[in-house]
Amino acid sequence: MSRLAKKPIIIPAKTEVSYSGGVVTVKGPLGTLTKTFRPLVALTIENGTVALTPASDSSETRVLLGTYVSHLRNMIQGVNKPYEKKLVVEGIGYKADVKGTTLAMALGFSHPVNVPIPTDLKVTAEKNVVTVSGIDCERVGKFAADVRAMKKPEPYLGKGIHYSDEVVRRKEGKKAA
């Protein structure tokens, strides 16, 4: 059994967790998240805690058990405190602005790069730092990864888009003769 699943998940105040028909719904102060769980894992909710147990003893069930525990913890944490990723746009002439429902960026290409912002995420840009926040951990991470993929940081000058806590490994340039 997964080490994560051995401890029950504590449900904080102002948070409701419900499970019916393979669909887990978590309601909290910031919103509602739903996710479909396969019937290989049994979920029990009692006394302000959630416990996940394997329905059978197959290898697939053992793999899914830890995954579902992590998903449920992320959902409970997200409806109480939003997830946040910060991206730094670095380089001469590189900039990012939020214009309505799009993220407009100048990344050294001959054209501006416009990325539509999903409705469930909040994106702000100030002084070349783009902040992506939302209650769904997966959606925040996916959008931040998609924006970073527009112009990955290059190793010689460090230009591009990188996470605020990411260390860009720099290479030494050509040696002068």
Per-residue model confidence (pLDDT) at position 50: 92
CB atoms within 10 A of CB 77: 17
Q: What angle do CA 11, 4, 42 make, to 5 degrees?
A: 70
pLDDT in tens, 102-132: 999 999 999 999 999 999 999 999 989 999 9
Quickly list DSSP for 62-101: HHHHHHHHHHHHHHHHHHHS-EEEEEEEESTT-EEEEETT
Which of helix, strand or coil describes residue 17?
strand
Task: List where CATH 3.90.930.12 sits in the chain.
Answer: 3-80, 83-163
Return the structure tokens found at 52: 């996940």
How much of the chain exceeds pLDDT 90, in percent?
A: 70
Q: Name the E strands within the chain.
A: 9-10, 16-20, 23-28, 31-36, 41-46, 49-54, 83-90, 95-99, 102-106, 113-116, 122-126, 129-134, 160-163
Identify the CATH class of 83-163: alpha beta
Asked whether residue 22 carries a pLDDT value surpassing 80, the answer given is yes
pLDDT in tens, 50-104: 998 888 888 888 888 889 999 999 999 999 999 999 999 999 999 999 999 999 9
**What is the second-level CATH architecture of the domain 3-80?**
Alpha-Beta Complex (3.90)
pTM for the structure as a whole: 0.89
Residue 69 to residue 74: CA distance in whole angstroms:
9
